[in-house]
Chain A
Amino acid sequence: MTETFVQEFATRAGTATAEGPEWLEPVRRAAMQRFARTGFPPARDEEWRFTPIAPIAQGSWRPATGGAGRLSRQQLEPFVFGHADWATLVFVNGVYYESFSAGGSLPPGLRVASLAETLRSDGALLESHLTRHAPVEGSPFTALNTALMREGGVVHVAAGIDLAAPVHLLFVTTAEAGGTVAHPRNLIVVERGARASLIESYVTLAPGQSYWSNPVTEVAVAAGAWVEHTRIQRESESAYHVGLTQVDQQRDSHYRSFSLAMGGALARHTLHVRLNDENVETLMYGLYVTRGDQVADNHTAIYHDRPNCRSWEVYKGILDGRSRAVFNGKVFVKPEAQKTDAKQTNRNLLLSDGARVDTKPQLEIFADDVKCTHGATVGRLDEVARFYARSRGIPAAAADRLLTYAFAAEVVAEVALAPVREELDRLVLDRLGGL
């Protein structure tokens, strides 16, 4: 399969300058060479040990080429959750569709455009950020994305701007996505003192289709900026999704992420956040809800490189059927990162006997004056809570649904922006079969 990608790259190489600026070409080429050399991660690779990527590595994937011909606006409505006025970029099977996108009257200081368009028009912004945050050495999937990326969203929030409404990058697949791979590449730059909320959604109109999404999102949070980043992954339950979010934070900044994962036969999300300067705050929340034979994998890493920073992480999982979840949470604290305050929690609720969780906290602390804690739990619904609800007249099955929802709702409540929080709440409730 590796050769197919090398070939695709070679075929496209001739047209590369049409697609992007000169500086990008060697970056892409190096990424391709790297992928050609490493191939997909072998089973013995510690980073991928619990992630069954064989169906991706052994699959045969054509490049996704859009195909929104029969798509109507109404079909997209459920995914924009009633906020058609938010700046929204819509990508269908890997291709940007301006006709479905919204945001004609963007507030001053906000630029939202597709990657392909930005590659043609704003090389300067891209040159200082694109591929500068997510290293191709990080993973073969990132290398492949870097080599073959064509589309994605580029969001730039100018210094001091306070965005009232979120920006939504919406990736939709349709039946035509069957057997294809897309490598969406997003770049989000929030300049000094700005405040922004972003939503990144991966959704499908073809719940049974098998396809592969390989997105990479780079986020640059400048000094004093505040960013809320919500990621909604609702791919087809027969699809594969391997995504990376790579964040760089500067002094006095606040970055909070919420990662909801409900789709995919195999869905992995890697979230890496580097705290590059002092007084940075990072909040990472996650919720995965799986059933059937789904595998949900979350790998997170927080790099405490500088002193006086705080990171707070809570990932929760609800597993049914024979589904599996993997959680790996790394916290690296450099020797100079004194007064680091880091807390990591992973809690899993098993609804069936067949579900399984592999959870691994990994703390590497080289500073001595820090406060770092972690904890992981895997369990069932609390019998006492169940009896409490029943003793109030709530039937057993409803009590179970209520307590399962409560387990999820506790982490959803951490989303700051109300309309986003309410939508997540609705999605989770739908998925759990209501109350």
Chain B
Amino acid sequence: MDVLEIKDLRASAGGKEILKGIDLTVNAGEVHAVMGPNGSGKSTLAQVLAGHPAYEVTGGSVTYRGQNLLELEPEVRAQAGVFLAFQYPVEIPGITNAYFLRAAYNEIRKARGLEEVDSMDFLDRLEEKLKIVDWEPEIMSRAVNSGFSGGEKKRNEILQMAVLEPTLAILDETDSGLDIDALRIVAAGVNKLRRPDNAIIVVTHYQRLLNYIVPDFVHVLSNGRIVKSGGKELALELEARGYEWLEDAVGAAS
């Protein structure tokens, strides 16, 4: 079943076109990697799917489980099961991690007509989720991402993903700024969350992450378009030959 169908998606920021016609279909149970050099539009694609207000969609369509995703507010997208793991998770001093995550969890439950859970129930549910990212409960009493290391911030994104159980998770440069141990923990967490009924888009610059989160498909983004798609071996080829090879080929073809 299609989770996501993107057709000729165009988007701009500050009057500058960044996405210039993206086509991409993602089915349940699949992991897609979107790769590309800096400035190719990878992060823009991730943010547009989550509904970041700084981007203006100028053309094309995005259908998520049969709904027009683009007309939904960011919170409604999240309530419908879309999750973006931020490249730069935001620090919110003053609110505990537990409070923030429970607020999100309850909003999503409310939107789905489910009963909200109190803080004791929530902590019970949290216990198994914390294991997914190999964390102790103490992390929940710290302020959201406040003073967290780069690795802790990314782990926190995966913890949120584990709790909110999205149908479509978009991981934006989740590997950036991670040392190898943190990378292993984060990737192992994501792998535990792979299910036949959800889909994951991994946005990354480097092949490294894909050694741990093995994708079913790899797409290469260049200058706002997908210029090549293939299986997981495409990532290895990119690692060996760099992005220039593809950009040159595209330049020659057009």
Q: Which residues of A contact B (CB under 8 A)?
A: 382-385, 387-396, 398-399, 402-403, 405-410, 413, 435
In the complex where A383-B53, A388-B86, A388-B89 touch, is A393 in contact with B104 (Cβ < 8 A)?
A: yes
A405 touches B73 (CB 8 A): no
Task: Specify which of B53, B105, B107 lies most central, judged by the most chain A CB atoms within 10 Å of its CB.
Answer: B107
B90 touches A393 (CB 8 A): no
- Taking CB atoms, residues of chain B closer than 8 Å to A385 are 90, 92
Distance (whole angstroms) from the CB of B93 to the closest CB of chain A: 4
B94 touches A390 (CB 8 A): no
Distance (whole angstroms) from the CB of B41 to the closest CB of chain A: 18
Instruction: Decide yes or no whether B51 CB sits under 8 A from chain A.
Output: yes
16 additional A-B pairs beyond A396-B75, A399-B75, beta carbons within 8 Å, are A383-B53, A385-B92, A387-B50, A388-B89, A390-B73, A391-B78, A391-B84, A391-B86, A392-B78, A392-B104, A392-B164, A393-B108, A402-B100, A406-B93, A406-B94, A409-B94
**In the bound complex, what is the Cα–Cα distance between A435 and B86 (angstroms)?**
24
- Taking CB atoms, residues of chain B closer than 8 Å to A399 are 75
Distance (whole angstroms) from the CB of A78 to the closest CB of chain B: 24
User: Which residue of A387, A393, A403, A406 contacts B107 across the interface (Cβ within 8 Å)?
Assistant: A393
A394 touches B104 (CB 8 A): yes
- In the complex, the chain B residue whose C-beta lies closest to that of A382 is B90
- Taking CB atoms, residues of chain A closer than 8 Å to B24 are none
A410 touches B93 (CB 8 A): yes
Distance (whole angstroms) from the CB of B113 to the closest CB of chain A: 14
Instruction: Decide yes or no whether B95 CB sits under 8 A from chain A.
Output: yes
In the complex where A407-B94, A408-B94, A413-B94 touch, is A393 in contact with B53 (Cβ < 8 A)?
A: no
Docked complex: B87-102 residues within 8 A CB-CB of A: 89-90, 92-95, 100-101
B73 touches A406 (CB 8 A): no
**In the bound complex, what is the Cα–Cα distance between A399 and B103 (angstroms)?**
10
User: Which residue of A382, A384, A387, A405 contacts B74 across the interface (Cβ within 8 Å)?
Assistant: A387
A-B contact count (CB 8 A): 80
* 27 CB < 8 A contacts A-B: A383-B54, A384-B90, A385-B90, A387-B51, A388-B92, A389-B92, A389-B100, A389-B104, A391-B74, A391-B78, A391-B83, A392-B75, A392-B164, A393-B105, A393-B107, A393-B108, A394-B104, A395-B107, A398-B107, A399-B75, A403-B92, A405-B95, A408-B94, A409-B94, A409-B95, A410-B93, A435-B103
Docked complex: B17-63 residues within 8 A CB-CB of A: 50-54
- In the complex, the chain B residue whose C-beta lies closest to that of A404 is B94
Instruction: Decide yes or no whether B111 CB sits under 8 A from chain A.
Output: yes
A405 touches B104 (CB 8 A): no
Instruction: Decide yes or no whether B222 CB sits under 8 A from chain A.
Output: no
- In the complex, the chain B residue whose C-beta lies closest to that of A395 is B75
**In the bound complex, what is the Cα–Cα distance between A30 and B164 (angstroms)?**
69
A393 touches B111 (CB 8 A): yes
**In the bound complex, what is the Cα–Cα distance between A321 and B54 (angstroms)?**
27
**In the bound complex, what is the Cα–Cα distance between A395 and B72 (angstroms)?**
12
**In the bound complex, what is the Cα–Cα distance between A383 and B90 (angstroms)?**
11
- Taking CB atoms, residues of chain B closer than 8 Å to A383 are 53-54
Instruction: Decide yes or no whether B79 CB sits under 8 A from chain A.
Output: yes
A394 touches B75 (CB 8 A): yes
**In the bound complex, what is the Cα–Cα distance between A118 and B166 (angstroms)?**
67
Instruction: Decide yes or no whether B160 CB sits under 8 A from chain A.
Output: yes
Distance (whole angstroms) from the CB of B61 to the closest CB of chain A: 21
- Taking CB atoms, residues of chain A closer than 8 Å to B143 are 410
In the complex where A388-B89, A388-B90 touch, is A393 in contact with B95 (Cβ < 8 A)?
A: no
B75 touches A390 (CB 8 A): yes
**In the bound complex, what is the Cα–Cα distance between A398 and B73 (angstroms)?**
14
Distance (whole angstroms) from the CB of A396 to the closest CB of chain B: 7
**In the bound complex, what is the Cα–Cα distance between A395 and B73 (angstroms)?**
9
- In the complex, the chain A residue whose C-beta lies closest to that of B86 is A388
A406 touches B95 (CB 8 A): yes
Docked complex: B191-230 residues within 8 A CB-CB of A: none
User: Which residue of A388, A393, A410 contacts B94 across the interface (Cβ within 8 Å)?
Assistant: A410
Docked complex: B153-195 residues within 8 A CB-CB of A: 160, 164
- Taking CB atoms, residues of chain B closer than 8 Å to A391 are 50-51, 74-75, 77-78, 83-84, 86
**In the bound complex, what is the Cα–Cα distance between A407 and B90 (angstroms)?**
14
Distance (whole angstroms) from the CB of A388 to the closest CB of chain B: 4
- Taking CB atoms, residues of chain A closer than 8 Å to B111 are 393
**In the bound complex, what is the Cα–Cα distance between A242 and B81 (angstroms)?**
53
